Amino acid sequence: MLDRAPLDLRSALAATFAVLGLLVGGYGLATRNNAALYLPSGQVNINLRWGGVMLGFAVIVRLLAMVADRRALRDAKPGGASDATTGVAARPGDP
Amino acid sequence: MTGSLATLDWLIVVVYFALTFGVAIVAGMRERKGGTSSTGYFLAGRDSGWFIIGGSLFASNIGSEHLVGLAGTGAASGVAVAQFEILASLILLVLGWVFVPFYLSSGVFTMPEFLERRYSSGARWYLAIISIVAYVLTKISVTIAAGGIVFEALMGINFWTGALVVVVITGVYTIFGGLRAVLYTDLMQMFVLIGGAVTVTLIGLSALGGWGALTAQVDPSFLSLWRPMSDPDFPWTGILFGAPILAVWYWCTDQYIVQRVLAAKDLSEARRGTIFAGFLKLLPLFIFVLPGIIAYALAKQGRLELAASDQALPTLVRTLLPVGLKGLVVAGLLAALMSSLSSVFNSTSTLVTLDVYKKLRPQASEKQLVWVGQVSTGILVCFGLAWIPIMKLVSAQLYQYLQSVQAYISPPIAAVFLIGILWKRVNSQGAMAALLSGFVLGVLRLILELNKGSLDGILLSYASINFLHFAILLFVVCSMILVFVSLMTAPPPEAQVAGITFQTATPVADGPVAASKRGWDKLLTVLLIAAVGTLWFVFR
């Protein structure tokens, strides 16, 4: 899965798509009555739709990050689940 | 296009730039907190998970020229160009199931280092020098120059100025954060890249009137992946037998790609990363090639003007996307450019540091190695900047030849890696003979191709043979040389091949978690193969 250390990428991804979604969706909301702008895309306000899609994606990714954080916290407690061995030998090249 | 790239579009591009740069710097800073080590800097501490590895494999592979080139070829001749992408899905499975176990168990940092383990120091020097020169002369220059052309067409700005900003920003975070920063930004860029491409495809398809309207507008051959043997670009024989040779070199033995897999925390994560990347490589048919065909169909309907096939993607973006989404797609193209560039900077500096500097100074400390890695990345960034004015002067044809150089020198490299893993009997004499004779034959082909006008007879045939068929020929010849010279000389010592060929591999017992993961990986592998088979059948 996504690495938890040293930086949780899920949160960074969620922030990126939230910002982009707000920018694109916000512009779509502001221009919802501008028919000329959306003429090439068949009068569909695609800024609003894609802004919504990106915001939705950001929320899902953020939720996944929260779930992973809770699981990591639970596993870190005494008696919590521990990482099982993967059966791979140590790498001789590592310094 | 210039006028239509509004303030909001620029704002989106700038915000995206800033977020990517921020993630790279934070990732680099946290990596440094753990102390300075070559494993940390060049292999991201060898603790990366499958999602990051798969995303990085995909993002590093897809450059901005890739996007425009695939759409352009799609507009000119249909879906057949996607065969290279689909085939990559299968070759990524070969990487995960055949090569990766040996790479990880040998503990190497680089592909030349693996060749030294398997064959000799000479083989390592050959591959290191060839790779470094090829990366500087072809990958860095081609990535920057193609990005320049793409952005000039799409944004209408003088990209040679913009390229300066992109190269410097990408260089700074690669120098600072090493592979960790590259992997993390690659993953972010993968999402933006795919998001941008999906946007263009869906809006284009909707504007056209759906899939039915598309199939009604284009010739059925446009939607066929299989072309006759006489086809000048994508003969089925070349696709089935030649393209996999080039793909084995690129996906399984090239440092630029394999370095991501070497950063895995274990074999399971590495293998699953390659499977994930295999699934991602099914997307280009739909999100990069299809937009080109959509542009062609819209042009046939008279809904847009397509001056040249390479203009398919820029024209589609210019015509269909409103302010706002246009900025998002431009950010996606920037993402493709930055991820490819950062990967090539990082891989080249890894080769320079570990295969040249460390070889000459074996006692170098960890701190010195990281420092050399950073300095060499800095020098590569300067090379990249120096290429910008030079590429302005280079003709388009020479630029294409630069791209094809690697296709002519890669079959012997693929042969020594593949046969070296499959058969313990091949030795260093055979490998050197195959590598050097393959190099001579490849360079001869390039020289003859440049002077094709003055040739006739067998030399003209040699220079004119389809490059995929040439790859088959070169691979067969080099394999025969490798086997013949090896059999004529003494077998390699047992210690030389211990653990790095199929016959000498030491089986490692899977733990319960690893065994379960392995089962899932087998299932996913079957699903991926089935998906490829389905695509081959549907687009037959």
Residue range B80-130, pLDDT digits in tens: 999 999 999 999 999 999 999 999 999 999 999 999 999 999 999 999 999
Contact criterion met (CB < 8 Å) for B191 and A17: yes
Contact criterion met (CB < 8 Å) for A9 and B331: no
Query: Does residue A22 or residue A5 have the better pLDDT?
Result: A22
Which of A3, A16, A95 faces B39 most closely, judged by CB atoms? A95
What is the predicted pLDDT for the residue at B332? 83
Q: How far is CA B424 from the centre of its chain?
A: 29
On whether any CB of chain A is under 8 Å from the CB of B324, the answer is yes
Q: Residues of A with CB below 8 A from B11's CB?
A: 23
Separation between Cα atoms, residue B143 and residue B148, nearest integer Å: 9
3-class SS at B264? strand
Is residue A3's pLDDT more than 50?
Answer: no
CA atoms within 13 A on the CB side of B226: 9
In the block, tokens 């899920």 appear at A10
Q: Residues of A with CB below 8 A from B106's CB?
A: 92-93
* Cβ–Cβ < 8 Å for B183, B41: no
**Two structure tokens written together for B418:** 């593949």
Interface of B with A in 9-38 (CB under 8 A): 11-12, 15-16, 19-20, 23, 26-27, 30-31, 33-34, 37-38
With a threshold of 0.90, tell me whether the complex ipTM lies above it: no
* Cβ–Cβ < 8 Å for B421, B99: yes
What is the predicted pLDDT for the residue at B187? 87
Residue range A71-82, pLDDT digits in tens: 888 877 765 544
What is the predicted pLDDT for the residue at B400? 61
Contact criterion met (CB < 8 Å) for A91 and B46: yes
* Cβ–Cβ < 8 Å for B186, B325: no
The nearest CA of chain B is from the CA of A26 a distance in Å of 10
Residue range B173-214, pLDDT digits in tens: 899 889 988 898 888 888 888 888 898 899 899 889 899 999
Q: How far is CA B412 from the centre of its chain?
A: 18
Separation between Cα atoms, residue B226 and residue B535, nearest integer Å: 11
The nearest CA of chain B is from the CA of A51 a distance in Å of 9
Contact criterion met (CB < 8 Å) for B11 and A47: no
The low-confidence residues of chain B, meaning pLDDT below 70, are 1-4, 34-35, 65, 146, 149-150, 153-155, 157, 159, 391-404, 507-513
Contact criterion met (CB < 8 Å) for A1 and B51: yes
Length, in residues, of chain B: 540
What is the predicted pLDDT for the residue at B511? 66
Place A2 in a pLDDT band, splitting at 50, 70 and 90: very low
* Cβ–Cβ < 8 Å for B412, B472: no
Separation between Cα atoms, residue B133 and residue B348, nearest integer Å: 9
Q: How far is CA B88 from the centre of its chain?
A: 10
Taking CB atoms and an 8 Å cut-off, how many pairs form between chains A and B? 146
Residue range A38-81, pLDDT digits in tens: 887 778 898 999 899 999 999 998 998 888 888 888 877 765 54
Is residue A1's pLDDT more than 70?
Answer: no
Q: CB count, 10 Å around CB of B108?
A: 23
What is the predicted pLDDT for the residue at B402? 62
3-class SS at B110? coil
The nearest CA of chain A is from the CA of B30 a distance in Å of 6
Separation between Cα atoms, residue B480 and residue B473, nearest integer Å: 11
* Cβ–Cβ < 8 Å for B413, B245: no
3-class SS at B517? helix
